[in-house]
Amino acid sequence: MRTVRSGRSARRGLLAAAVAGALLLGAAGCGGDGEPEGGQKTPKDYKVVAGTELCGGNAISADASRALEVITGEPRFEASGERYTVERAAADLVDAFGTPDVWEGDACRVYTPLGTTDFELRIIWTWLEGPPKGKPAQKFTLLKMGEETGAASNEAYVLFECRSDKLAGSSTAAHLMISAEHRTVSEPEDNVDALKDAYATVAHSYSLAMAKELGCEKNGGLPEEAVLDRA
């Protein structure tokens, strides 16, 4: 059985721990109204935006923005950091492609605003050595999209082929994966089908944006809109 990873490398695990610690410290200094205690106010550069403005503004479609609301329960989100753009993620992937010690990276992170329930969704790119083999983990439902798409109630991934001059050393199609995931100890048990569709919609939106940015032939075979039909 092939277990589709969600980018859980040791290196990223350490990074996640550091980020979690920073968020915990930040949360400890906030009052119930989302404002820091001690009279301090939210930083002036803090912004809350619509989902379509996340990740550089050209990665999250209107459908994906609505999907994020299904996932998080919030219609608006913290503005993405400057580094979280499709252009930056594509450049990082191109630099890493074919390098055995760098095979995945952060594409974007989505956070709910201050004063709401904490929620982090990660979008991750991965390059693979070949096409998918075997079956994904049992929690994934396969969808008829791309080379392979799997959706669960807390994450989804889209695999697609990319023939592009930007991916040096690739004489044949490269195999790329975009995953959208919320790391939880347990998987949600309510609205499972709706959540699967929502995560798949977000993963598809970023995958399509990445395929276009890389110049993949025929957009990597991805449709303009997410296909949520079960395989």
Taking alpha carbons only, the member of 169, 166, 225, 226 closest to residue 196 is 226
For the chain, give every domain's residue range.
Answer: 85-108+121-221
pLDDT > 80? residue 2: no
Say what the pLDDT of residue 170 is.
57
pLDDT > 60? residue 69: yes
Say what the pLDDT of residue 34 is.
45
Which phi-psi region, left, alpha or beta, contains residue 138 (left: φ > 0; alpha: ψ -120 to 50)?
alpha
Say what the pLDDT of residue 26 is.
43
Q: Of residues 178 and 32, which shows the higher confidence score?
A: 178
pLDDT > 70? residue 119: yes
User: What is the tens place of the pLDDT at every residue in 172-184?
Assistant: 889 999 999 998 8
Q: Which of 14-23, 46-55, 113-122, 136-145 has the least mean pLDDT?
A: 14-23
* Whether pTM exceeds 0.85: no
The residue to which tokens 């919609």 are assigned: 201
Mean pLDDT, to the nearest integer, of 46-71? Answer: 97
Say what the pLDDT of residue 171 is.
64
User: DSSP for 55-113?
Assistant: TTTTSS-HHHHHHHHHHHS-SEEEPPPTT-SHHHHHHHHHHHTT-TT--EEEEEEEEPP
One-letter amino acid for residue 181 of the chain: E
Say what the pLDDT of residue 31 is.
39
Say what the pLDDT of residue 58 is.
96
Query: What is the pLDDT confidence band of residue 101, given thresholds at 50, 70 and 90?
Result: confident
CA atoms of 228 and 231, how far apart (whole Å): 9
Say what the pLDDT of residue 15 is.
34
CA 91 to chain centroid: 16
